[in-house]
Structure 1
Amino acid sequence: MAEPRPIALVTGARRGIGKAIAVGLAQAGFDVAINDLDASGELDAAVEEANAHGVRAVAVTGDVARLGDHAGLLEAAERMLGPLTTLVNNAGVSVMSRGDLLEVTSESYDRCQSVNTRGTFFLTQAFARRLLGRARPSALHHSIVTVTSANAIGVSINRGEYCVSKAGASMVSKLFAARLANDGIGVYEIQPGFIATDMTAPSKARYDKLIEDGLTVIKRWGTPEEVARIAVTLATGGLPYTSGQAIAADAGLLTVRY
């Protein structure tokens, strides 16, 4: 009888860090459900790239900000692939517009909270309940990996609502790590710094100079594939005897120097 294969759901994964994680998991032998808000050519291309690694990859659409979508999202992934072992909370949004902290709108604040924090909390809760409600093969590592941001710690006053939401998501990861550790479910966090994606492209020119001048210890932008390598290590149980750890993929941005 063939060994059971790990199966992951990656949210917000049609491009950028999410896509890189989905493809990285496929390379590591995971079947992968790749999520985005809506069907699109980009989503189909991400599925095709993952499938090329000899695993099963499928597209599942749904909005993590809509709590009513969560059960259907998990059920769709499991109907097509089988029992999930891994959830990667990657879906996230930035601010509606950068600007003075004193001018932040409730609409932008609520949007960040809805996707980045509230959606992450309740999808994690729904996934954890699902795992705890059934037998799980001991040969497979079961895990939850949440992608937050260096802004979970580092202050960026021109997008304060984003910082608050990512700090909240960081605490979500710690809480579920403490709750689920003795149930054999690893819960981890990745805090990316300056990663070259479509989301960060509008800020590239500004940060190029700051990075060159020493803002980060490693003087370059990171790649989605470098974040994916960390996610795969966590999802495969490559860091045993850990719980709730936050891995800073930030080129030393948050390293204290003097």
Structure 2
Amino acid sequence: MSGQVALVTGSGRGIGLATAVALAKRGFSIALNGLVDDDELASAAETVRAHGVKVFASALDVCDIAAQDGYLARIEAALGPLTTLVNNAGVGVISRGDLLDVSEESYDRCLTVNAKAMFFLSQAFSKRLVARERSPDLFHSIVNVTSSNAEAVAVQRGEYCASKAAAAMASKAFAVRLGPENVAVYDVRPGLINTEMTAPVIAQYEQRAREGLTLFPRIGQPEDVGEVIAALASGQLPYTTGQTVSVDAGMLVSRF
């Protein structure tokens, strides 16, 4: 897809890196993002670059709202006009425990990274899109990576659930605002995915998946989510926007 340029936040590893690779396989130029310029981000850049696409890797704390527009400008100077934003950067809770013991620090951290940062980065990206002429041959989109916990309560990490629910509503709001601009917006909700964030508890969830928590008796891999995001960002679901796409092996299907 010549001319497609994507920024994937939090793309040094996990779902973000898998998404960047899946997009690169479709011909997207890729802007990789991490919290700091480190060996992990450099390694991710080499992994993506191996697919024969242009890559720009640079650090930004997505919570630095004032720096977001300048960051987008640097990406566009290196790769050309952005067509795609994947808001993947996120954090979990500081510690799991009783909802009645959640700290203000943990709540603010989740809401700032998982909801506020993606809201304002989406705003900065959208302003750039609507201010310029765009080729009708290119697909423009925002894909927000939220969570099954935008809907399903995990009471031991209620602040995380609240932040993902906020991000999910932001996805709908941007879909409504950007529809007349022919910009699609999606909310992708991973379920049980084997990532660094889930590493402390993934073994118990593997067992629960085999026992029927998910309809497919396995946990997901970052590549599963990355392929779904890439399909959406490539316009492979035409005439859609505002949709929630659950990549959870049917975990949230109502059953008796």
Pairs within 5 Å for 1:1-150: 4-150=2-148
In the TM superposition, residue 182 of structure 1 has moved relative to its aligned partner by 1.5
Partner amino acid, structure 1, of 2:66? G
Describe the superposition over 1:2-30 as per-residue Cα deviations: whole angstroms up to 9, x where unpaired.
x8510000000000000000111111000
Structure 2's unaligned 5+ residue stretches are none
Structure 2 partner of 1:226: 224
Structure 2 partner of 1:178: 176
Is 1:33–1:59's contact at 8 Å kept on the other side of the alignment? yes
Structure 1 partner of 2:249: 251
Partner amino acid, structure 2, of 1:89? N
Instruction: State yes or no: 1:199 paired with 2:197.
Output: yes
User: What is the alpha-carbon distance in structure 2 between the residues aligned to residue 209 and residue 223 of structure 1?
Assistant: 15
In the TM superposition, residue 208 of structure 1 has moved relative to its aligned partner by 2.1
User: What is the alpha-carbon distance in structure 1 between the residues aligned to residue 96 and residue 154 of structure 2?
Assistant: 10
User: What is the alpha-carbon distance in structure 2 between the residues aligned to residue 189 and residue 113 of structure 1?
Assistant: 17
Describe the superposition over 1:168-219 as per-residue Cα deviations: whole angstroms up to 9, x where unpaired.
0000100000110111101011000000111111011221222122111111
Partner amino acid, structure 1, of 2:195? T
Which portions of structure 1, spanning 4 or more consecutive aligned residues, are displaced by more than 4 angstroms? none
Considering only aligned residues, what root-mean-square deviation do their CA atoms show, in Å?
A: 1.0
User: What is the alpha-carbon distance in structure 1 between the residues aligned to residue 41 and residue 154 of structure 2?
Assistant: 31
User: What is the alpha-carbon distance in structure 1 between the residues aligned to residue 203 and residue 53 of structure 2?
Assistant: 38
Secondary structure of residue in 2 paired with 1:59: strand
Secondary structure of residue in 1 paired with 2:40: helix
Partner amino acid, structure 2, of 1:141? F
**TM-score (norm: length of structure 2):** 0.98
Partner amino acid, structure 1, of 2:52? G
Instruction: State yes or no: 1:216 paired with 2:214.
Output: yes
Structure 1's unaligned 5+ residue stretches are none
Partner amino acid, structure 2, of 1:173? S
Is 2:2–2:28's contact at 8 Å kept on the other side of the alignment? no
Is 2:188–2:244's contact at 8 Å kept on the other side of the alignment? yes
Secondary structure of residue in 2 paired with 1:13: coil
2:236 pairs, out of 229, 235, 238, with 238
User: What is the alpha-carbon distance in structure 2 between the residues aligned to residue 148 and residue 69 of structure 1?
Assistant: 23
Is 1:47–1:59's contact at 8 Å kept on the other side of the alignment? yes
Describe the superposition over 1:53-86 as per-residue Cα deviations: whole angstroms up to 9, x where unpaired.
1110110210111111211221111111110000
Identity score, percent = 52
Is 1:23–1:46's contact at 8 Å kept on the other side of the alignment? no
1:165 pairs, out of 156, 163, 166, with 163
Secondary structure of residue in 2 paired with 1:247: strand
User: What is the alpha-carbon distance in structure 2 between the residues aligned to residue 71 and residue 151 of structure 1?
Assistant: 30
**TM-score (norm: length of structure 1):** 0.97
